[in-house]
């Protein structure tokens, strides 16, 4: 190791956190000069090297920041467009100490190799990781009396932060070499790096903790032991065939094991198969549990016995406690064992047979063997599987720190003695094949396979020579009746097609009833849209909270809780035509949307108010509040009234409730909200307009940077002035309770209603 042998010194990595990219450069420069002044006071004759991506950026930084603000240190500019005599004079001034700041593009190509250049102000990342390593390596070279080097950059910048993460993952040397000087917020961003620093990375022989991406799985054990014996792991694994590293402070052991095995088709000893196993052990003494994740399913008990004098594996019926609290659980498989008429038999249920599996599991002669399902935790989608033998798993592949947090969260359920596992299937969703359309009113429809979340051009709808991105189109119901045809359209104000779903004899078909030649392009394939829906049916939601995909119906097994009337607020709509929804490009002052926007502006608390109305919208209005340590994003779904005056029309709620439920998907990855808004603004700008009522693209970039550090809270509002708050019927409350329950179950969002 070059660092351990003294060739390199430790580097102080000084990250700053400036979310406004236009302020980031001055923040980096200010921090670099402060570091220079501190080093000079400490007796170190240091210089600053300002790193930027190109000559244009170098000129800008020199002329607008370093020369006007820090002329005390006589900054010099060096790049290939500067005359050779001036470059030579600048480098001489730098060597002599007449200048203490150099702004450059390529320090190597420009011949800048001055040992006292010990402060790097990195405004832009290098194009490749090897050059980044070479650059930082120059600063890390040891030289007596020079002191430690410092690298300063803005990790709120996506590209610079990606470069830093890539650097950490490249070589374990950098975990030792880069000493992070960070405040609380930045420590949160670099938590995985901090975890890695608790290990002796040399023992992984060049591999890093950040490079390990285990499948999320574990076997849990309880123990009352106050101490463990981590060194006993060497009695289980052969050190000659393993990389073993231990983080005693965090209670974690990582083993990477090499296993050679014979090949079936030859007895020649010189050829064999080489496999690698990963073993993770995590002990949390505070909850008296430890967890083992191993790609070798048979070794967990051996590891447990070596590390702890006493422990008990959690298995049997108690293992199914891990399913507790999962909302809208949709089981994919159920494995049962039974002892009817002789030996124990195993039966597996999947797909439309899940209902039979649940029924069988309730019989005294059956017991659960294993199962897997997906659902919601109130914080988003989850997947979970478990076996009575003790293993619990998810379909995710994640980092080690994610796995640790997941183990702790599952443990809280495993230890809950109040969970009754015999009732674990209550509320589970069961699919069934139907022969006719459901006798309920459809009120919402969504693209299949989450197409509406796509922000690039990988999915296109075309008509002739014209292509439309998926985010420029809407899919929406065109009929809302209890027994009539189920029809919907795809399109915008330029192109549109209408379709009908036919169901009979356990089969379904989508037919185009108003054709316009639309084609869908996906992964080098082209479909007529009706053919695409035959293969990937859209999801249709009904007022009884059942959901239909093709002819596969999932019914809710429980009644949603009553809607909280405190979440209904009334506004004054006396100046508004409640049958006019959108303000349009002309900002119609009588429209519902205009009235809402003006009310938000008057509150003076928003940094962004965005008119997203039109096909492909997230919501009619998206507003953002930028607080000190939290981002709040609000979706306002506006809908026109079906009458001239407020009343008790249930039809006023159908479409807008469907829109509110559809928008919940954006909670999966809040930064994609910002990406979508920027896409939408770019499209609007091409016609000479803007969607911003408050804010701009620069502010959106700042918000996106900040969302990487601070949590984003989503709030959803339905705006329907056609509802008379004093005349709401039971049917209307039934729809509101269904939508409210869906938002709460999935992402813990309280639906709010604004009406008359």
Q: pLDDT tens digits, residue range 555-575?
A: 888 888 999 999 999 999 999
Q: Look at residue 440 and give its three-state secondary structure.
A: coil
Pick from 265, 183, 283: which is nearest to 225 by CA? 283
* Exposure letters 717-747 (e unless 16+ CB within 10 A, then b): bbbbbbbbeeebeeebbbbbbbbbbbbbbbb
Is the pLDDT higher at 450 or at 371? 371
Average pLDDT, the chain: 86
Cα angle at 9 between 5 and 11, to 5 degrees?
Answer: 140
Residues of the chain with CATH 3.40.91: 565-755
The pTM is what? 0.80
Q: What is the mean pLDDT of residues 726-749?
A: 94
* Exposure letters 361-373 (e unless 16+ CB within 10 A, then b): beeeebebbbbbb
Q: What is the mean pLDDT of residues 64-68?
A: 95
**In this structure, what DSSP letter does residue 237 have?**
S
Q: Which CATH class is domain 11-187?
A: alpha beta
Q: What is the mean pLDDT of residues 523-537?
A: 90
Q: Is the pLDDT of residue 312 over 60?
A: yes
pLDDT of amino acid 133: 53
Q: What is the pLDDT of residues 222-258, one digit of tens each?
A: 999 999 999 999 999 988 888 888 888 889 999 988 8
Q: What is the pLDDT of residues 183-230, one digit of tens each?
A: 433 344 445 555 666 666 666 666 677 778 899 999 999 999 999 999
Confidence of residue 175 (pLDDT cuts 50, 70, 90): very low
Q: What is the pLDDT of residues 472-521, one digit of tens each?
A: 889 999 999 999 999 999 999 899 999 999 998 888 999 999 999 999 98
Residues of the chain with CATH 3.30.310: 212-313
Q: What is the mean pLDDT of residues 433-439?
A: 92
Minimum mean pLDDT range among 300-304, 556-560, 599-603: 556-560
The answer regarding whether domain 212-313 maps to CATH 3.30.70 reads no
Q: What is the mean pLDDT of residues 525-539?
A: 92
CA distance 247 to 200: 8
Q: Is the pLDDT of residue 340 over 70?
A: no
Residues of the chain with CATH 3.40.50.300: 11-187
Q: What is the pLDDT of residues 14-53, one digit of tens each?
A: 878 787 877 889 999 999 999 999 999 999 999 999 988 8
pLDDT of amino acid 185: 38
Q: Look at residue 5 and give its three-state secondary structure.
A: coil
Q: Which CATH class is domain 565-755?
A: alpha beta
- Alpha carbon separation from 675 to 455, 624, 626, 743 (Å, rounded): 7, 14, 17, 23
pLDDT of amino acid 184: 36
Q: Is the pLDDT of residue 632 over 70?
A: yes
């Amino acid at each position: 190791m070059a660092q351990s042998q003294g060739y390199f010194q430790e580097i102080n990595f000084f990250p700053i956190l400036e979310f406004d990219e236009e302020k980031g450069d001055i923040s980096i420069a200010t921090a670099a000069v402060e570091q220079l002044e501190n080093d000079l006071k400490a007796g170190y004759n240091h210089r600053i090297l300002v790193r930027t991506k190109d000559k244009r950026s170098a000129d800008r930084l020199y002329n607008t920041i370093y020369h006007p603000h820090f002329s005390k240190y006589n900054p010099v500019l060096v790049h290939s467009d500067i005359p050779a005599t001036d470059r030579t004079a600048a480098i001489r001034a730098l060597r002599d100490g007449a200048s203490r700041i150099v702004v450059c593009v390529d320090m190597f190509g420009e011949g800048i190799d001055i040992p006292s250049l010990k402060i790097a102000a990195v405004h832009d990342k290098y194009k490749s990781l090897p050059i980044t390593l070479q650059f930082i390596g120059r600063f890390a070279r040891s030289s007596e009396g020079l002191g430690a080097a410092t690298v300063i950059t803005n990790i709120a910048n996506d590209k610079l932060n990606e470069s830093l993460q890539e650097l950490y993952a490249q070589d374990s040397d950098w975990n030792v070499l880069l000493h992070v000087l960070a405040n609380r917020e930045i420590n949160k961003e670099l938590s995985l790096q901090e975890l890695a620093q608790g290990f002796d990375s040399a023992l992984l022989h060049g591999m890093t903790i950040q490079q390990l991406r285990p499948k999320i799985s574990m076997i849990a054990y309880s123990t009352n032991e106050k101490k463990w014996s981590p060194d006993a792991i060497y009695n289980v694994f052969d050190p000659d065939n393993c990389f073993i590293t231990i983080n005693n402070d965090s209670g974690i052991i990582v083993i990477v094991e090499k296993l050679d095995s014979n090949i079936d088709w030859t007895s020649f000893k010189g050829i064999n198969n080489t496999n690698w196993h990963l073993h993770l052990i995590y002990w949390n003494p505070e909850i008296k549990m430890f967890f083992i994740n191993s790609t070798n399913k048979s070794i967990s008990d051996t590891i447990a016995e070596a590390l702890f004098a006493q422990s008990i594996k959690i298995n049997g019926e108690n293992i199914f406690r891990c399913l507790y609290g999962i909302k809208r659980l949709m089981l994919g498989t159920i494995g049962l064992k039974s002892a009817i008429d002789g030996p124990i038999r195993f039966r597996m249920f999947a797909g439309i047979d899940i209902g039979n599996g649940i029924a069988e599991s309730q019989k005294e002669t059956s017991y659960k063997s294993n199962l897997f399902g997906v659902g919601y935790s109130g914080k988003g989608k989850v997947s979970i599987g478990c076996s009575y033998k003790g293993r619990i798993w998810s379909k995710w592949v994640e980092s080690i720190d994610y796995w640790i947090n997941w183990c702790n969260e599952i443990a809280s359920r495993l230890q809950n003695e109040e969970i009754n596992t015999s009732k674990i299937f209550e509320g589970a969703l069961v699919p069934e094949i139907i022969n006719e359309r459901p006798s309920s009113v459809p009120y919402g429809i969504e693209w299949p396979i989450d197409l509406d979340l796509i922000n690039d051009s990988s999915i296109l709808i075309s008509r002739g020579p014209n292509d439309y991105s998926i985010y420029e189109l809407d899919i929406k119901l065109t009929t809302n009746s209890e027994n009539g045809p189920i029809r919907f359209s795809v399109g915008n104000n330029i192109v549109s097609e209408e379709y009908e779903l036919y169901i009979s004899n356990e089969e379904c078909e989508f037919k185009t009833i108003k054709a316009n030649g639309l084609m869908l392009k996906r992964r080098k394939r082209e479909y007529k849209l009706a053919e695409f829906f035959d293969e990937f049916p859209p999801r249709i939601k009904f007022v009884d909270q059942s959901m239909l995909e093709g002819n596969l119906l999932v019914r809710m097994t429980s009644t949603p809780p009553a809607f909280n009337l405190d979440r209904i607020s009334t506004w004054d709509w006396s100046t508004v035509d409640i049958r006019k929804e959108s303000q349009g490009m002309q900002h119609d002052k009588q429209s519902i949307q205009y009235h809402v926007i003006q009310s938000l502006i008057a509150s003076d608390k928003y940094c962004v108010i965005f008119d997203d109305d039109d096909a492909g919208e997230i919501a009619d209005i998206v507003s953002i509040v930028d607080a000190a340590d939290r981002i709040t994003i609000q979706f306002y779904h506006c809908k026109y009234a079906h009458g001239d005056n407020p009343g008790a029309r249930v039809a006023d709620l159908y479409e807008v409730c469907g829109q509110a439920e559809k928008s919940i998907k954006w909670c999966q990855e809040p930064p994609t909200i910002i990406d979508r808004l920027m896409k939408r603004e770019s499209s609007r700008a091409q016609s000479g307009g803007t969607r911003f009522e408050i804010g701009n693209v620069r502010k959106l970039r700042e918000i996106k940077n900040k969302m990487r550090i601070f949590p984003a809270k989503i709030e959803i509002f339905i705006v329907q002035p056609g509802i008379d708050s004093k005349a709401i019927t039971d049917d209307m409350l039934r729809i509101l309770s269904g939508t409210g329950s869906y938002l709460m179950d999935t992402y813990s969002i309280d639906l709010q209603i604004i009406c008359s």
